[in-house]
Amino acid sequence: MKNWQGIWIVAEQWQGKLKRISFELLARARKLADKSGEPLSAVLFGYHLTEACQELIYHGADQVYMVDHPSLSQFDPDIYANCLEELVCEERPAVLVAGATTTGRTLMPILAARLKTGLTADCTDLDIEEGTGLLLQTRPAIGGNVMATIKTPNHRPQMATVRPRSYPPSPRDPARRGVIIEVKLSDEAFRTRFEILGFESIGDEQAQLEDAEVIVCAGRGLEKHTALFLIKELARLLGGAVGGTRPVVEQGWLPYPCQIGLSGKTVSPTLYIACGVSGAIQHLAGMRGSKFVIAINKDPRAQIFKVADLGIVGDVKEIIPRLITYLKEMKKDD
Ligand SMILES: Cc1cc2nc3c(=O)[nH]c(=O)nc-3n(C[C@H](O)[C@H](O)[C@H](O)COP(=O)(O)OP(=O)(O)OC[C@H]3O[C@@H](n4cnc5c(N)ncnc54)[C@H](O)[C@@H]3O)c2cc1C
């Protein structure tokens, strides 16, 4: 039997196109592989994958395990878990990292339970411990008030999921060389108890959030559901997306995919406008990567001002209409 060795990431694709999380995972894992001196492999499941596998090499993988099969064109938790389990038991990687995406959050717990190993979900940082070579898995704990670093000394593989957008993607280098290994798995691996009836796409507004360059975020300071039209109008004029804090989502003003923070999405837009947001640590966990933050809050002592590049002290219901009027005027002049 092989020794547990090597750093693996589980890449993700949709219709043959790699998702951004694949490159974020490669960037993180490349650093781990270089530090530990172990090879970096990516696993990719899907159908018609050769080009995507090559891209994974250009972005940092030393080798790619390609599992190319028509039954893998859509995410089926049973089939994906069977395939990954078979592959991991055969190749025995020391470290297995996936995105804390819907796919990663579904797949990795199934696998960890089957392999009787640990799993640290939603990590914001990964490192290799000097001396032991163990994977250090860091994530917020106790409601985001402390950062906990977790190790898996006695079981293998060491498994973690990583928050999307918590790390910049690896750059593309077409001069990189690597190996694509076409994996053949048993017929049993492709058996499933699921029947996929169809797909429904989520609204454009929600789909855009993680990729948006501009985000206008609604906080409880909006006071009324009806004031949301101000946020939507401001986002529209700036060509941005709408996000919200947890109370705004819990009150049903916005759907859950719009939630930004510890228990929602992590975003890193160029411009983030926080409207009536207090700046609780759990919210900041999701937007700290924003490049320029504007905060509008009527309380000059609000925490959000500590992370803002520009702070406006005032009532959102007065400030936002003025911004909207100004932007409309500007557009007219153009
Ligand atoms: C385990 C855990 C996970 C969590 N996950 C998340 C998460 O993912 N995302 C998240 O957002 N929160 C999360 N929270 C909740 C978080 O702690 C805060 O309660 C939440 O972020 C506060 O939302 P808010 O800023 O909209 O509301 P508030 O804290 O109520 O703040 C409203 C702000 O609006 C200001 N304001 C009021 N009226 C006006 C006005 N007319 N004009 C201008 N300003 C005004 C007030 O001064 C205040 O600062 C989590 C909490 C826990 C314990």
Task: Say if ligand 1 is within 6 A of residue 315 CB.
Answer: yes
Q: Where are the alpha helices (DSSP H) in 59-139?
A: 77-91, 102-115
| Percent of the chain surpassing pLDDT 90 | 83
Burial degree of 215 (CB within 10 A; 0-12, 13-18, 19+)? buried
- Average per-residue pLDDT in the chain? 94
Task: Say if ligand 1 is within 6 A of residue 266 CB.
Answer: no
Ligand 1 centre from 280 Cα, in Å?
6
Count how many Cα atoms sit within 13 Å of the Cα of residue 268 in the half-sphere of its side chain. 8
Residues 56/42, Cβ–Cβ less than 8 Å: yes
Rounded to a whole number of angstroms, the distance between the first and last alpha carbons of the chain is 69
Nearest CA-CA partner of 219 in 278, 301, 289: 278
Mean pLDDT of 80-87: 98
Mean pLDDT of 5-28: 96
Pocket of ligand 1, candidates 234, 265, 283, 320: which has the most ligand atoms within 8 Å of its Cβ, to mutate?
Answer: 283
pLDDT of residue 304: 98
Tell me whether the CATH fold assigned to 7-190 matches the one assigned to 204-333: yes
Pocket of ligand 1, candidates 145, 147, 220, 256: which has the most ligand atoms within 8 Å of its Cβ, to mutate?
Answer: 220
- Give the CA distances from residue 109 to residues 44, 75, 98, 122, 226, in Å, rounded to whole numbers and listed in that order: 18, 15, 11, 12, 40
pLDDT single digits (tens) 32-79: 999 999 999 999 999 999 999 999 999 999 999 999 999 999 999 999
Domain ranges (residues) in the chain: 7-190, 204-333
Residue 334 in this model has a pLDDT that exceeds 80: no
pLDDT single digits (tens) 94-150: 999 999 998 999 999 999 999 999 999 999 999 999 999 999 999 988 877 889 999
Mean pLDDT of 260-270: 90
CATH fold, domain 7-190, is: Rossmann fold (3.40.50)
Position in ligand 1 atom list of the atom nearest CA 220 = 26
Q: What are phi and psi of 196, to 5 degrees?
A: -85, 120
Query: How many other C-beta atoms can be found within 10 angstroms of the C-beta atom of residue 297?
Result: 26
CA 124-126-127 angle, to 5 degrees, is 150
Mean pLDDT of 146-156: 95
pLDDT of residue 203: 63
pTM equals 0.79
Q: Which CATH architecture has domain 204-333?
A: 3-Layer(aba) Sandwich (3.40)
